[in-house]
Structure 1
Amino acid sequence: MTQQGAPTQRAAHARGGLHRQLLLIFGLQLVAIVLACLMGYYDVAPVGAVLALIVIVGALAWLAAQRALRPFSTLARMVGNWHEGQTELQSLQPDHLLHRVDADVATLARSFQSFASRIAGYNERERNFTRDASHELRSPLTVIKMSTDMLADESGLSDFGKRSLERIRRATREMEALVEAMLILARETDNGQGEQDFVVNDVLRDELVDAREMLHGHPIELQFEEPATFALHGSPRVFAVLCWQLIRHASQYTGQGTVLVTVLPGAVSVCATAGTDHDPHLPGQQGFEYAIARRISERFAWPLDLRVQGGNSYVAEIRFPQPLPVPG
């Protein structure tokens, strides 16, 4: 059925039909203008009539060309009115443009219809994935949080068990923030759940408390300086994940030493200094932490600059183009 219909459809849209129409239009226009000029040259018709005839022929040629180009205008209007969330694509079929369509126009219409169908399918798969992943990932985390709360109420828990329980809680909070950030990155049209105005300094102080606990036992000193204070509009959880990934990246770079987080006017920097006997890796070669930080910075248009200074100093700086004043 489909194989029989394809030749018929191709036959209905003659290739080069538009070119032939334009050639015929301008050919007849040229002939008419030449005849009008000859009539004026041999005094067959007065000059005014010849000029009027030339104007009429030009106007008719223009109207005929407009009619020939109408399918392109119709297709351009349909493409301009299309949006990614639109699932009704039948109007883009060549047969819905005009009764007789040039093959080039039909090819453009079919190609865009195929592209629009793929985009619609991609959006549907994205919604299904993020919905299922959100449920399947957050549900186990909720169970872990409830279980740790119940274990914390046990009176006979040893000191080792309490320390392990706190590590589980910290890891759970980190996993929650990471899952939220990755789901936001997976949603093309979502700029972050729970957007609000937040003070960067406050979020960093809370994040550094957990970061110090997560780095407990490592020969790394985590410091915080805030010569400036500003606020942002966005997701504080995603901002915290961005900073935490850079702290982890800096910690892996230095191995041992000092990691300094500084709040600057409209920016946050994470600096690390490696020991003289430490052979650091190039920061761009350490994958996951920096990859997540880079994707978040690109998604929210927070430029991230990463460089190594003096051979052993790691500097990552996030700039925020639209900082907000801190409410008084």
Structure 2
Amino acid sequence: MQSRRKLRFRLVVSFALFGFGLSALFAFAALNIRSRVEDQLVNSSLLDDAKWANQQAYAGKPSGSRLLTGSVLSDRTIYKAPLSWQNLPTGVHNINEPDPDTAQIRHYKLAVYRENGIISFVRYDASREELGKRQLLISVIGAVFLFGLLSLALGLWLSRKVLKPVSDLARRLRDFRKSGKAEPLAPHFADDEVGELALALDEYSGRLTAMVERDREFNSDVSHELRTPLAVISSTTELLQGSPDLTDKLRERLKRIERASRQANEMIEALLLLSRAERRGPTRGETTDVSKVAADVIESQRPQMRDKPLEVELVVHEGISVNAPASVLSVALTNLIGNAIKYTLAGMVTVVIGQGSIEVIDTGPGIKPEDAERLFQRGVRGEGAGGSGAGLGLAIVRRLCELYGWHVSMRPRSDANGAIASIKFG
């Protein structure tokens, strides 16, 4: 994952690098031009001076150097020249020789011109030139660092000046998040790009607030409208169960209607909590017994087991109580236990409670390890899922568990066919 730098830091670094690079480029160009021009002028002057001395000697006139002191020799007297000079061709040569006064090695430029049997030598002390180059180089390097520091300081000042409105906008947004109340942002900023951004955020906030308000009203209306007929169904079923002339078959059907009504109420309450992202515990600080809710869910799911050689067993190793409404836990377990019963055509479904978790173990066709996490996505159904269904049950379970800090997972059994669905509390 790439690190994200602050905009101000990137602006300062970019400005400083631009200033430093431009200064360095200018310094390099200045040194290069100075060196080239100086070499051309010095070489040309020395060679021209040696040629002039040669011509003077050939004409029998007193020879010398118009620029520097040198020597003019012939082929017969060339032995008087230093040994390192005697075989040098016409041109300008770089040589290093000791200074006669200080015995220090110095850098010279030696101009040699050969014509008509006469050899002219003009020696130029380039040490001063090199000293000037070094002084110029030090000055240019100092100027580069100075301009780099000035660019850095200017970048810091400009970034603070330019990004101040952006920082102010971010601060106001953080304050709104803490207070939970959004106020208009645009009046606090000038009519520039940041002001346009603040205006766009105000418009987006207005649309989002209106949408949330509509969703809240819709959820409240749906909850009210659904609870009313469910309450009528529940009360009517209760009255009918009190009739003395009911047959056992009708009494069982009324119990199924009562369980379905209760499950619908629990589902409505759980969905309302999800829509509001509201985590609510039981009333009066009470806790919910997991084993009791699991037993109720198993009884409510027994009608699915008709005409199937299937048994459901509840094993409680350790009692567990959770700080959550029974309706939330019931919705989660109904989906997990109901799926296990639905997909298991024969065998056993075991619900095990203990060690801070509940596991639903079945002997059905099982699941693939790579599909275990995908089954909790919306609209995804397991292989072999027949009948109706939108693939939302496990997605709802995952959202409920995330709301209460639980961890839900599924995995294939390692010892036999089937799958294991588990919820770890806390």
Q: Normalising by the residue count of structure 1, what TM-score does the alignment of the two structures yield?
A: 0.68
Instruction: Specify the alignment match of 1:192 in structure 2.
Output: 280
* Partner SS, residue 223 of structure 1: strand
- CA distance in structure 2 between the aligned counterparts of 1:100 and 1:289, rounded to whole angstroms: 50
Give the drift of 1:68.
4.4
How much is the aligned-residue C-alpha RMSD, in angstroms? 3.5
Q: Any stretches of 5+ residues in structure 1 without a counterpart?
A: 1-18, 28-57, 323-328
- CA distance in structure 2 between the aligned counterparts of 1:191 and 1:136, rounded to whole angstroms: 23
* Greater RCO, CA 8 A, separation 6+: 1
* Partner SS, residue 287 of structure 2: strand
2:246 to 146, 153, 157: 157
Q: Which moved more, 1:308-317 or 1:125-134?
A: 308-317
Distance change in 2, residues 1:150/1:71 (3 Å) = same
| Aligned: 1:97 with 2:188 | yes
1:202 to 292, 296, 301: 292
Distance change in 2, residues 1:79/1:98 (3 Å) = same
Give the drift of 1:125.
1.9
Instruction: Specify the alignment match of 2:230 in structure 1.
Output: 141
Instruction: Specify the alignment match of 1:290 in structure 2.
Output: 394
Give the drift of 1:267.
0.9
Q: Which amino acid aligns with 2:209?
A: A
Q: Is the 8 A contact 1:130 1:187 kept in 2?
A: no
Tell me the percent identity: 29
Give the drift of 1:312.
1.7
Instruction: Specify the alignment match of 1:235 in structure 2.
Output: 325
Distance change in 2, residues 1:65/1:152 (3 Å) = closer
Q: Is the 8 A contact 2:309 2:346 kept in 1?
A: yes
Instruction: Specify the alignment match of 1:309 in structure 2.
Output: 413
Distance change in 2, residues 1:97/1:258 (3 Å) = same
Q: Any stretches of 5+ residues in structure 2 without a counterpart?
A: 1-10, 20-151, 376-381, 386-390
Distance change in 2, residues 1:181/1:78 (3 Å) = same
Question: What is the 5 A alignment of 1:1-328?
Answer: 66-83=160-177, 88-90=182-184, 92-93=185-186, 96-99=187-190, 101=192, 103=193, 105-188=194-277, 190-192=278-280, 194=282, 196-212=286-302, 215-216=305-306, 218-274=308-364, 284=375, 285=382, 286=385, 287-310=391-414, 312-320=417-425, 322=426
Flag the structure with larger Rg.
2
**How many matched pairs?**
263
Give the drift of 1:207.
3.1
Instruction: Specify the alignment match of 1:41 in structure 2.
Output: none
Distance change in 2, residues 1:249/1:63 (3 Å) = same
Q: Is the 8 A contact 2:176 2:183 kept in 1?
A: no
**Over residues 42-81 of structure 1, what are the superposed CA-to-partner deviations in whole Å (9 max), with x where a residue is unaligned?**
xxxxxxxxxxxxxxxx999977764544322321221111
* Partner SS, residue 363 of structure 2: strand
Q: Which amino acid aligns with 1:120?
A: T
Greater percentage in helix: 1
